[in-house]
Structure 1
Amino acid sequence: MTSDARNPRACIRGTGRALPAAQENAAPSDAPPADGAPSEASAGRERRRAAAGETTSDLAARAARAALDAAGLGPRDLGMIILATSSGDAPMPATAVYVQQKLGAELIPSFDLSASLTGFLYGLSVANQFVTAGTLRHVLVIGADLLSRRVDPRDRAAAALFGDGAGAVVVGPAAGDGRGILSVSLRADGKKADVLQVPGGGSAEPLTQERLADRRHALRVNHAELRCAVEERLGGQALAALVAAGLTPADLDWVIPHHADAHLAGLLAEHLGCPRQRVLGALDGGNAAGASAGSVAMALDEGLRDGRIQPGQRVLLCALGGGLTWGSAVVRV
């Protein structure tokens, strides 16, 4: 799943992000203990929490408007909306159609994509294919999650890692100046599906009073296995994306991992031989780090808007989440 890195045909035209107004400590001091504990790197971090009545589509639409404004486009310029989320407004229909409605977009294809924390990169790959093939001109890709409503409050480690937020990009034709999506590399391992999951609420486990009491509808995380997967998989996948783009780690200007855990983000930087100050998200204290499918796009938008990421620079985007799914993309902004 790669573009021609020497002459990319699709690029990111604009970015945007949205955070809930409320902010609170991710792991209340009076929360009951549970398996796992927040690492020292993530303990005490504040994560954004959506207000009562605020939905995933609300945040997604706000991020989308910001991305469209940055691209100098309007909703009627879009050919498709892709929303990566694991916490949509409802099981049916797709939350993307609510975003379409709130934006006032045309009757364009609008659908959800479920790949957990890696969802935004999967969506970016799909958009890249449509634009590169010339099938569509502009595709909106959004990563948005309200995982605070899925986290079991007894799992303090998960509560410290996951928050709410949305990030969006508009993918369109490249200008021929070398800027664009240079490569996307994706993987999945269904044998590890139980490492990060919400077991109840689907066809395998329809919700009953007993399952609700057992909190089968809440997020369940095997923290030890998840950390091992990040350490084993993400660095190698990032290098694969760089090779596909014809680059080395020394060619990178920035690395943006999804991780809310600064220790894991630091390990990735070490694996790549990248200075820690070039890693955005978890290592710079940004709010984007815990927003699941929204994290990578949010950190990219933050870096572009505050001037740290400059036009023409090369950025590595990477994530690992439930599935297990993981992947990386290299873009020249």
Structure 2
Amino acid sequence: MSTSKHNFIDLGRQVLDIEQAAIAGLYPALDDQFSSACQLMMDCAGKVIVIGMGKSGHIGGKIAATLASTGTPAFFVHPGEASHGDLGMVSANDVVLAISNSGETAELLGLIPVLKRLGVQLIALTGKPESTLAKLADVHISIAVEQEACPLGLAPTASTTATLVMGDALAVALLNARGFSADDFALSHPGGSLGKRLLLRLEDLMHSGERVPRVHTEATISEALLEMSRKGLGMTAVVNGDNQLQGIFTDGDLRRILDHRVDIHQTAIAEVMTRKPVTANTNMLAAQALKIMEDKKINGLFVMDEQHRPIGALNMHDLLRAGVL
């Protein structure tokens, strides 16, 4: 059968319409049972164990990962493996989140007697409130949909979308209840760019010691340029006899003074430096420094100690190398 380009688009839009309706249909399920499920997971002294077969299992894996990364310790256990030893991972302190659209998945139902004997609290996500799993659960949340996006009504499509969205609703509700912060999130994602943006502080990436470009106020512009060339940051701090910052001089400042035909060999850097520059401290997050640079349209920052002495310096290239930019 031939299908035109427009047929593909229409079919795709039909799927989106059906799945949007499935999500909208979840609102009634956000009731006392939803609240009870959140409270069970909030009070859980152990971990949330997510179980599901087939497509529900794939969605369950994602839900477990989302819970774990947002402050609720969780992991996924395959029901087939659970009945052959992996159920030993489950303790009485845990909460089990069982997912089955039909509520009659044999592999899940076979685990219920053992879970009940352990005294484990059971939350069920099903599309059938009258199903066996729903009735055996301590808490049941409906993920029922009116129709699947699959025209045959066979392939889990709208139902898996609804399940995933309900899992997100549980995870985010718990995240807020726990007061889970961006820093907390970054601690579980230290290897990613998000973790770097949130956790790296300026003391972790700044140039320090002899690598900090600095000249005294009586130095000439040409001497300042030599210091900038040696240190390679496109700027230099200008300090007094006590090493306190008086100003900075940058590549941009150089371009501006050249327009005025200033004698770089005779003019003191103090006459052309930028006074009261924006600075930072060692505890500042790299992400904060990036925002300051973007807002102020500058390419570098000096890091100061409590006596207003430059103890570090960094520029956009340092942020780029660290994966912050």
TM-score (norm 1): 0.23
Structure having greater relative contact order (Cα 8 Å, sep ≥ 6): 1
Over alpha carbons, which structure has the higher Rg? 2
Whichever structure has more helix as a proportion of its residues is 2
